[in-house]
Amino acid sequence: MRLEELRDFGLTEDQRMIRATARDFAEKEILPKIDDYEREERYPLEIVQKLGPLGFLGCLIPEQYGGAGLDYISYGIVCEEMARADWLTASVISVQNSLVGSTILRFGSEDQKRRFLVPMARGEKLASACLTEPNAGSDLASLETTATRKGDGYVLNGSKIFISHANHADIYFVLATLDRSLRHKGVCAFVVERETPGISSRPFPLHVLKRGNTAEVTFEDVYVPRENLLAGEGEGFKIVGSALDTGRYSVASRAVGQAQGCVDFALKYAGERVQFGQEIGRFQMVQQMLADMVTSVEASRLLVRRVGYLKDAGVERASFEASMAKLFATDTCMKVATDAVQIFGGYGLAAEFPVGRYMQEAKILQIGEGTNQLQRILVAEYALGLRKY
Ligand SMILES: Cc1cc2nc3c(=O)[nH]c(=O)nc-3n(C[C@H](O)[C@H](O)[C@H](O)COP(=O)(O)OP(=O)(O)OC[C@H]3O[C@@H](n4cnc5c(N)ncnc54)[C@H](O)[C@@H]3O)c2cc1C
């Protein structure tokens, strides 16, 4: 085995091929176009539509439901390679596979798998996860969206905020409560078709990612048949815990990719930019930043790979390891992106170079799918034995 392969902890031939395919797609189909989408504040639907035929929208969905049936390490690699080029494309893959696809796969009935996973895997339907509410962010158990039993189903009322891709998605994974006083025990998880009467969504603007990504979604007397309830009544919190377990793995993988992108840009720039008669990469203080950047990205990748390895070994929950990977990789990504901007000097903030955008997008990874304060709480509680699977 060559040194390069050993460094990869012996990725299989298939895994290396998936990485090459993902990297090739990102470099040819995403990177050259992303500045245009950004300038035009346009959702990259044309790119997203190409992800289906490549199998990237059904990475974790088994072949029997039309998916690619990839292992978790391969899936993490796809997320990493996409994020190296674009936050948003990687986010589509991550939400579709981790938060929604793997959840329906694990908790859905056979009928739900046929109805939802098959079109999702083919890329015919995009999914969104409607969890966060105006008054329930980190404290999801305090959510206010209600599910009221009616006939052979439920009526949903409430609103969700910051929902990625909701304006373009067809399938919503929704948390709602039967009884707020029960806190997490009252929470149910539903799969809801966006076309259902009573659902409306509107863009929720951010300083960054002005490509129509996040939305506010309102549910007004939305009737959902019982066959769209995942598992049973009151199971929603357990379901979302499992979804976030896989979600944190993909967020951590994306953080490694974004950080690697910053390293690549910074190394190239440091080798080209000349000040005081020499390339800035020859100055020790710039080298120090580069050395820390390269090392911390490698360390993050190892933590992330371990989560993939555990999941491929069939471990049902790897929450401790997933939280550590998410925490470390996203903090690393923020630091690496900030240092990349520093290495670019004023050009780091110029629109002609991407590192300034990467820096803003890195911040989101420290907040989404459980802020890093929450990850620290989880890691400490697992380490202290106060929390168990
Ligand atoms: C770009 C983007 C995309 C997103 N996409 C989605 C999506 O697709 N679906 C979805 O459902 N949500 C999504 N979110 C929402 C995201 O998951 C929430 O923003 C996040 O969970 C935090 O909730 P909050 O913003 O209400 O912050 P809050 O919970 O109000 O937290 C505010 C601050 O208080 C801290 N804090 C809160 N509780 C504690 C505690 N117990 N101990 C210590 N510190 C604490 C937090 O760490 C944070 O620093 C997205 C957010 C962004 C920015």
Position 139 scores a pLDDT of: 96
CATH 1.10.540.10 residue ranges of the chain are 3-125
> Closest ligand 1 atom, CA of 373?
47
d(CA 134, ligand 1 centre) in Å: 10
Å from CA of 324 to ligand 1 middle: 18
CATH, domain range 237-384 = 1.20.140.10
Least confident of 5-19, 34-48, 320-334, 350-364: 5-19
Mean pLDDT of 116-143: 97
CATH architecture of 128-234: Beta Barrel (2.40)
C-alpha to C-alpha distance for 387 and 380, rounded to whole angstroms: 9
Residue nearest to atom 40 of ligand 1 (CA): 374
Q: What is the mean pLDDT of the chain?
A: 96
CA 53 vs. chain centroid, Å, equals 20
Instruction: Give the Å distance between the CA of 213 and the centre of ligand 1.
Output: 16
Give the span between the Cα atoms of 20 and 186, in whole angstroms. 45
Predicted confidence at residue 211, as pLDDT, reads 86
Q: Is the pLDDT of residue 65 over 90?
A: yes
CATH 1.20.140.10 range(s) for the chain read 237-384
Confidence (pLDDT) at 210: 86
In the predicted model, what is the mean pLDDT of residues 87-109? 97
Percent residues over pLDDT 70 in the chain: 100
pLDDT band at 10 (very low <50, low <70, confident <90, very high): confident
Q: How far is CA 288 from CA 42, 118, 261, 282, 292, in A?
A: 38, 49, 18, 10, 6
Please identify, by atom number, the ligand 1 atom nearest to the C-alpha of residue 165: 8
Lookup: tokens for 233 = 């009544």
Choice among 28-37, 113-122, 204-213 with the minimum mean pLDDT? 204-213
pLDDT tens digits along 146-203? 999 999 999 999 999 999 999 999 999 999 999 999 999 999 999 999 999 999 999 9
Residue of the CA atom closest to atom 12 of ligand 1: 132
From the alpha carbon of 139, which atom of ligand 1 is closest? Answer: 29
The residue whose C-alpha atom lies closest to atom 48 belonging to ligand 1 is: 371
The residues annotated with a catalytic role in the active site are: 369
- Give the residue-averaged pLDDT of 258-281: 98
Q: Is 337 helix (H, G, I), strand (E, B) or coil?
A: helix
The pLDDT of residue 7 is: 76
Contacts 24+ apart (CB under 8 A), 70-74: 70/18, 71/15, 71/308, 71/312, 72/249, 72/307, 72/308, 72/309, 72/311, 72/312, 73/11, 73/15, 73/305, 73/308, 73/309, 73/312, 74/14, 74/15, 74/18
Nearest C-alpha to atom 41 of ligand 1 is from which residue? 374
Residue with tokens 């005081």, as numbered in its chain = 276
Of 342, 331, 320, nearest to 373 by C-alpha is 331
Is 290:279 a contact under the CB 8 Å cutoff? no
What separation in Å is there between the alpha carbon of 363 and the centre of ligand 1? 12
Strand partners for 174: 130, 190
Question: Is residue 1 predicted with pLDDT exceeding 70?
Answer: no
Q: Ligand 1: distance of its center to the CA of 20 in Å?
A: 34
Structure tokens at 100: 């929604």
pLDDT per residue as tens digits for the range 290-303: 999 999 999 999 99
Which amino acid is located at 124 in the chain? E
Hey, what CATH class is 3-125 in?
mainly alpha
Question: CA 5 to CA 207: how far, in whole Å?
Answer: 41
Q: Which residues line ligand 1 (CB under 6 A)?
A: 95, 129-132, 137-138, 162-164, 214, 364, 367-369, 371, 373-374, 377
The CATH 2.40.110.10 portion of the chain extends over 128-234
Does the structure show a pLDDT above 80 at 389? no
Residue nearest atom 25 in ligand 1 by C-alpha distance:
137
CA 9 from centroid of its chain's CA atoms: 24
Task: Please give the number of the atom of ligand 1 that sits closest to the Cα of 377.
Answer: 42
pLDDT at position 9: 77
Distance CA(48)–CA(42), nearest Å, equals 12
* Averaged pLDDT for residues 102-109: 97
SS3 per residue for 34-97: HHHHHHHCCCCHHHHHHHHHHCHHHCCCCHHHCCCCCCHHHHHHHHHHHHHHCHHHHHHHHHHH
